[in-house]
């Protein structure tokens, strides 16, 4: 007899929990689709670029907000990425041409790999900040690499380029910056 009573109590308890959870799921308001999409896309073009501070491959510290007054090309890349490898020679050529007029920050998202060997192989001379905690990559919601943000001298993101860039793309996008 006691076994039947205990079994009935357990069964009623489980049904109650299931009903409460089902009701709670139905009463929760879903996040608007536009808000969900925006949160997955990262910072919007036309907004202030999120600030960050990272150590470069050479040990220097670079802070984005310290670059106000300069045009910035903020690139996210990895050593194993074929499109990243394809765009690096053009980025170096562009860097050599523009000099101090534009700051190129090529944020590496796989610093556990041999970034120095990559830099040596491609003879890169612009700064390579290392995102060791994956914090900047997360902040900018980079889903595909390479991804490049073009930031004007006021710190406003003016364009986002996803994929491998050619020299002409870099020149065109930087030419639009103020």
For residue 107, give the CATH number of its domain: 3.40.30.10
pLDDT, greater one: 133 or 16: 133
Does some domain include residue 38?
A: no
Q: Is 140 exposed, middle or buried (0-12, 13-18, 19+ CB in 10 A)?
A: buried
**118: helix, strand or coil:** helix
pLDDT at 34 over 50: no
Does some domain include residue 35?
A: no
pLDDT tens, 83-131?
999 999 999 999 999 998 999 999 999 999 999 999 999 999 999 999 9
pLDDT at 37 over 60: no
Share of the chain above pLDDT 70, in %: 82
- Residue 172 CA to residue 59 CA, distance in Å, equals 31
Domain that holds residue 112: 43-175
pLDDT at 141 over 80: yes
Which pLDDT belongs to residue 83? 96
Assess whether 74 and 6 both reside in one domain: no
Assess whether 21 and 95 both reside in one domain: no
Q: Sorting pLDDT into bands at 50, 70 and 90, what band is 1?
A: confident
Give the mean pLDDT of 143-164.
Answer: 95
pLDDT at 27 over 60: no
Instruction: Identify whether the C-beta of residue 142 lies closer than 8 Å to the C-beta of residue 163.
Output: no
Assess whether 98 and 169 both reside in one domain: yes
Tally the residues of the chain.
Answer: 178
Which pLDDT belongs to residue 13? 67
Tokens found for residue 158: 């003016």
- The answer for residues whose C-beta is within 8 angstroms of residue 110's C-beta and 6 or more apart is 78, 79, 80
Does some domain include residue 121?
A: yes
**Count of domains in the chain?**
2
Which pLDDT belongs to residue 12? 77
């Amino acid at each position: 007899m006691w076994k039947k009573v205990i079994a009935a109590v357990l069964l009623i308890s489980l049904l109650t929990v299931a009903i409460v959870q089902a009701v709670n799921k139905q009463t929760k308001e879903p996040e608007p689709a536009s808000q969900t999409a925006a949160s997955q896309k990262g910072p919007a073009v036309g907004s202030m670029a999120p600030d960050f501070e990272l150590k470069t491959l050479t040990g220097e510290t670079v802070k984005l907000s310290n670059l106000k007054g300069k045009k910035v090309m903020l690139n996210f890349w990895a050593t194993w990425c074929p499109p990243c490898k394809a765009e690096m020679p053009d980025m170096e050529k562009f860097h050599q041409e523009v000099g101090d007029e534009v700051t190129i920050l090529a944020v590496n998202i796989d610093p556990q790999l041999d970034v120095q060997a990559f830099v040596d192989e491609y003879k890169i001379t612009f700064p390579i900040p290392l995102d060791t905690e994956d914090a900047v990559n997360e902040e900018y919601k980079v889903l595909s690499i390479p991804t490049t943000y073009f930031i004007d001298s006021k710190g406003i993101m003016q364009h986002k380029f996803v994929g491998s860039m050619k020299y002409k793309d870099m020149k065109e996008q930087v030419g639009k910056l103020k």
